């Protein structure tokens, strides 16, 4: 462990930023006509570029001048767009606007890391948004598709053991030697450890040796100038980068103060809270080398030399008892701003499709079979009675009361986040009506309050028929 070392937080910023432009309600037909004419012009330059790209002609022939700002028109583009323009600061993908009710993006903007670092993410965003309004289209809506937050540190040399000191919810814990893996992995250069990755896809953490990366790719050395602005920077020590990647699929399921992290401004205004949430989700724990090595190997060695396998619960308790690593305390703020609000994860209620009822019922039978060893009607009755007893003792309410109240809570919460969802309101209205119409008779049938017949015998007969068993 390296507790006695001085941890230095060198530099922190947005390292990667990508966002999409969508049509605004303020856009006019004149704006669309001007935009589509621009696309036609750029497509003409793109066609020339495709024809002549192998003839070593001057690249200036394939540029477009936006009021003094020169952009290279690429001979190819990404899927879903028609033309790509780029300069030293950004890459912009564009396509024609054909219908005003189109809900897909017509433009994608990708910022260069060097541009974000030179101007700061706010300065870079303001500069590009101004360019877009003056040269591309006058009105648009922005949604961030991907953002990376990073922090460069000195004073702590990460090792492969730190991969196993991370407490996270990710379940993919496989090792690779290549950096292109989308699952948890660690990176090596020969036998020299370079870093690791936890998570994948829409939400992940990377930790890697930035000094070594710059030695391999000198064009990334611009960041060293920024490190030197920190008086505690040491040229003799290696720099490690801690980086979190979040894509829109993850962001739009995060909620802060009843607001979904789907809009452009709400994300940029809550980078401190997003950073804090990332540190919580990928928490470096202050475990000593012995405990960490045993977690890595999956067993401990007794004094007599025998090996004892570590149960998942044992490993969980080790993490539970551990404290947050001092390095995580050092980097807990984002550009000096502490976490002020908690970000929660939100998922929409399940669809009312019967497939979910089908799957849930089979899951209930499967779990009951595993626990009791059979699914006889009397066993099902016993399981339901125990569920009722447990719910009463823990929540002080019946099972049906608990189910109905939870569903209503989710509807009410979703209303705040999806205010314009008409289908949602219809579903809630229908659900509430069904609750008041049927709750009494449902309760009577399930909990034997119907005096007209012995509902326990009735249930057993119905269930035996369902199973196809003889009475």
Please, what is the average pLDDT of the chain? Answer: 82
pLDDT in the model for residue 408: 67
Residue pLDDT, tens place only, 91-112: 999 999 987 666 789 999 999 9
In the predicted model, is pLDDT for residue 80 greater than 50?
Answer: yes
pLDDT in the model for residue 33: 93
Q: Give this prediction's pTM.
A: 0.73
**Domain boundaries along the sequence of the chain:** 1-10+150-286+323-347, 24-139, 354-467
Average pLDDT over residues 419-430: 55
Average pLDDT over residues 9-38: 93
In the predicted model, is pLDDT for residue 394 greater than 70?
Answer: yes
SS (H, E, C) the chain: CCCCCCCEEEEEEEEEEEEEEECCCCCCHHHHHHHHHHHHHHHHHHHHHHHHCCCCCCHHHHEEEECCEEEEECCCCCCCCCEEEECCCEEEEECCCCCCCCCCCCEEEEECHHHHHHHHHHHHHHHHHHHHHHHCCCCCEEEEEEEEEEEEEECCCCCHHHHHHEEECCCCECCCCCCCCCCEEEEEECCEEEEEEEEECCEEEEEEEHHHHHHHCHHHCHHHHHHCCCCCCCCCCCCEEEEEEEEHHHHCCEEECCEECCCHHHHHCCHHHHHHHHHHHEEEECCCHHHHHHHHHCEEECCCCCEEECCHHHHHHHHHHCCECHHHHHCCCECCECCCCCCEECCCCCCCCHHHHHHHHHHHHHHHHHHHCCCCHHHHHHHHHHHHHHHHHHHCCCHHHHHHHHHHHHHHHHHHHCCCCHHHHHHHHHHHHHHHHHHHHHHHHHCCCCCCCCHHHHHHHHHHHHHCCCC
Residue pLDDT, tens place only, 189-220: 556 778 899 988 899 999 999 999 999 999 99
Average pLDDT over residues 212-237: 94
pLDDT in the model for residue 230: 95
In the predicted model, is pLDDT for residue 347 greater than 80?
Answer: no
Better pLDDT: 443 or 374: 374
Residue pLDDT, tens place only, 161-175: 999 999 987 765 444
Residue pLDDT, tens place only, 109-145: 999 999 999 999 999 999 999 999 999 999 999 999 9
């Amino acid at each position: 462990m390296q507790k006695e070392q001085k941890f230095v937080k060198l530099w922190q910023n947005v390292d990667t930023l990508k966002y999409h432009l969508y049509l605004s309600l303020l856009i006019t037909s004149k704006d669309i006509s001007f935009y589509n004419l621009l696309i036609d012009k750029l497509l003409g330059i793109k066609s020339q570029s495709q024809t002549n790209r192998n003839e070593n002609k001057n690249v200036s022939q394939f540029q477009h001048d936006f009021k003094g700002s020169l952009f290279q028109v690429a001979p190819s583009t990404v899927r879903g767009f028609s033309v790509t323009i780029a300069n030293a600061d950004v890459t912009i993908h564009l396509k024609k606007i054909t219908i005003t009710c189109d809900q897909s993006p017509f433009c994608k903007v990708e910022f260069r890391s060097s541009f974000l670092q030179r101007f700061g993410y706010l300065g870079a965003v303001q500069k590009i948004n101004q360019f877009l309004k003056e040269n591309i289209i006058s009105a648009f809506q922005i949604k961030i598709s991907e953002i990376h937050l990073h922090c460069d540190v000195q004073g702590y040399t990460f090792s492969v053991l730190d991969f196993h000191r991370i407490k996270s919810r990710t379940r993919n814990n496989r090792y690779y030697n290549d950096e292109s893996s989308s699952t948890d992995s660690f990176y090596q250069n020969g036998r020299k450890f370079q870093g690791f990755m936890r998570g994948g896809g829409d939400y992940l953490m990377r930790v890697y040796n930035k000094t070594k990366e710059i030695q391999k790719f000198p064009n990334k050395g611009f960041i060293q100038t920024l490190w030197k602005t920190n008086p505690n920077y040491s040229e003799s020590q290696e720099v490690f980068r801690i980086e979190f990647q979040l894509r829109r699929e993850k962001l739009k399921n995060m909620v802060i103060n009843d607001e979904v992290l789907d809009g452009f401004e709400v994300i940029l205004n809550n980078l401190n809270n997003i950073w804090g949430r990332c540190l919580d989700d990928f928490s470096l724990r202050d475990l000593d080398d012995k405990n960490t090595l045993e977690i890595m190997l999956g067993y401990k060695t007794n004094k007599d030399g025998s090996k004892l396998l570590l149960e998942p619960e044992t490993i969980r308790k080790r993490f539970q008892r551990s404290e947050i690593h001092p390095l995580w305390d050092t980097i807990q703020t984002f550009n000096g701003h502490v976490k002020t609000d908690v970000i929660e994860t939100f998922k929409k209620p399940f669809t009312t499709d019967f497939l979910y009822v089908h799957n849930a019922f089979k899951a209930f039978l499967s779990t009951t079979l595993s626990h009791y060893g059979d699914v006889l009607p009397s066993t099902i009755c016993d399981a339901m009675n125990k569920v009722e007893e447990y719910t009463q003792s823990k929540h002080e309410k019946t099972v049906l009361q608990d189910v109905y109240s939870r569903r209503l809570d989710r509807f009410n919460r979703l209303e705040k986040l999806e205010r314009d969802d008409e289908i949602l309101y219809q579903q809630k209205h229908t659900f509430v009506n069904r609750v008041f119409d049927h709750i009494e008779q449902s309760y009577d049938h399930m909990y034997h309050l119907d005096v007209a017949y012995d509902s326990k015998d009735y249930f057993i007969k119905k269930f035996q028929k369902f199973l196809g068993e003889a009475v």
